[in-house]
Amino acid sequence: MDVIESKVNVNSESYKKNYEDMTELVSNLKREMETAANERSAKAIARHKESGKLPARKKLELLLDRNTPFLEIAPLAGLGMYDGNNHGAGLLAGIGMVQGKEVLISINDATIKGGALYPIGVKKTLRQQAIAMENRLPLITLMDSAGAYLPLQSEIFPDIDDGGRVFYNQAMMSKMGIPQIVAVMGLCTAGGAYGVAMCDEIIHVKGHGAIFLGGPPLVKAATGEEVSANDLGGPELHCTESGVSDYYAENDAHAISMIRKIVRNLPQHEKHALDTIAPEAPKYDPRQLYGIVSPDLSTSFDIRQVIARIVDGSRFLEFKQMYGPTLVCGWAHIHGYPLGILGNNGILFSQSAEKATQFIQLCDRRKIPLLFLQNINGFIVGKAYERGGITKNGHKMVNAVSTSTVPKFTVIVGASYGAGNYAMCGRAYSPRFLWMWPNAQIGVMGGEQAAGVLVTITNDQRKRQGLERLDPEQTAQIKDPVIQTALKEGNAYYSTANLWDDGILDPAKTRDTLGLAISAALNAPIRDDVYGYGVFRM
């Protein structure tokens, strides 16, 4: 593979301006991450400590193998929602190493609403389960949940992607042979009780761990019986009488040590083997990405210069370089793992889509994972392009993305608009993981374009009615709200709050994040013997 030649002038004014702007965005991201991780009310912290419980991040520290990385999932989920304090959707979740095995970890943070699940918390739980199932990762849960947040029960309870789906997924994971291990570290009420009972092995903590379908207040209201939480569902009851719980722990730290022993006892799982090479750092400093990519999405950049700062040795074998040049395709390695990479250098034309389709088929046939680097405004439009088959060629690309069986990973490094989002493996196309950079924008189209479309439609309507075209003031009245809404709902923070992605990345950490994700994905077989595609409209 050839080393990508750097064509970046680090002394140019545009580079320096980009670098300064991106540095500010990354600093803002770090502040938001710090707030989500540590901002808790003094009252909640004191109550947690008085009950003898460990903080969520201390639990994580004790659970993970020493000096191993942790790939946190959706740390800013729920940002700005409800009362603004539902940090991380009330859950600390991610992929880490326990006893040398990659596992998915989920920890209720009881300093946030007592561990009660809001709608976004249910969505994050379902996302964790999807990751565990797609990548065949054992699921370790440290449970301390008051169950559903009742004032919002209609948004949590009845639908196919609401709370009940959590237990359905647990049953399916059990059928798939995915280990589920839980420690009961607080009140596990109603749905929380089912979530515990459906796990393979249950550790129950003395003093503050309790499992019951209805807590003491509900029991009293329903039957008139007065009973303590411990007598109703404590470890003595469930370890000696009901048989619900399997292990008795003296405290949180003891429970975590028992989990580590259980994980060590799990059978060693053989990961899928790729044709790897020795890892090598990029030739160019990944922090140069700050100066290459402008927060102003109207400023273009060569996606090859991004690739050069995330792949091993900055080496890249480009496929069909002279054909469909608005899409760059080729092979590289990240942390020694082979990847097929697709990155945007403009809107998608028929040739770009045809090239992508062929390239995806090659990677899928060879069992090489795919990485999509999105900076896309969509497909070309117009009479000549429709005559040339853009619709059918775009369909081929979407079909190939949808039906390819290799692990797919997506990073939105700039714009992600319309059908371009779909064709470049947006969330709806089930990439194993998807992240955004802090400058990224997502939507059906950009605010200016959407506003322009509405103005055009309005003027056409007025013409049919015999009215004058909109004057500048009227035009602004239509355009300004649309642009402002697009800016609010299209930015990376709105996306990550709603779990449209798995987190916002510091661009300089993209390479390492991808390395961890690829490693996790290899716990699942890339595919069985089934290979093929749907019908391509020729």
Amino acid type, 508: A
Tokens, residue 535: 């019908």
| Spatial distance between the Cα atoms of 141 and 389, rounded to a whole number of angstroms | 50
**pLDDT tens-digit profile, the chain (538 residues):** 899 999 999 999 999 999 999 999 999 999 999 999 999 999 989 988 888 999 999 999 999 999 999 999 999 999 999 988 899 999 999 999 999 999 999 999 999 988 889 999 999 999 999 999 999 999 999 999 878 888 898 899 889 999 999 999 999 999 999 999 999 999 898 888 989 999 999 999 999 999 998 889 889 988 999 999 999 999 999 999 999 999 999 999 999 999 999 999 999 889 999 999 999 999 999 999 999 999 999 999 999 999 999 999 999 999 999 999 999 999 999 999 999 999 999 999 999 999 999 999 999 999 999 999 999 999 999 999 999 999 999 999 999 999 999 999 999 999 999 999 999 999 999 999 999 999 999 998 888 888 888 999 999 999 999 999 999 999 999 999 988 888 889 999 999 999 999 999 999 999 999 999 999 999 999 876 667 777 776 6
Crossing angle (nearest 10°) for helices 119-135 and 510-521: 60
Provide long-range contacts, Cβ within 8 A and 24+ apart, for 110-114.
110/48, 110/53, 110/56, 110/144, 110/145, 110/186, 111/40, 111/41, 111/44, 111/45, 111/48, 111/55, 111/56, 112/40, 112/44, 112/85, 112/86, 112/87, 112/88, 113/86, 113/146, 113/149, 114/146, 114/187
Q: What distance in Å separates the CA atoms of residue 74 and residue 499, rounded to the nearest whole number?
A: 7
Q: Distances in Å between the alpha carbon of 383 and those of 351, 391, 459?
A: 16, 11, 22
In our burial notation (b when 16+ CB lie closer than 10 A, e otherwise), range 150-166 reads eebeebbeeeeebbbbb
Length of the chain: 538
* Predicted TM-score of the model (pTM): 0.94
Rounded to whole angstroms, how far apart are CA atoms 111 and 115?
Answer: 7
- The rounded distance, in Å, linking the Cα atoms of 390 and 384 is 9
- Would you say 312 and 277 are in contact if contact means Cβ atoms under 8 Å apart? yes
Angle at 34 between CA 410 and CA 31, to 5 degrees: 80
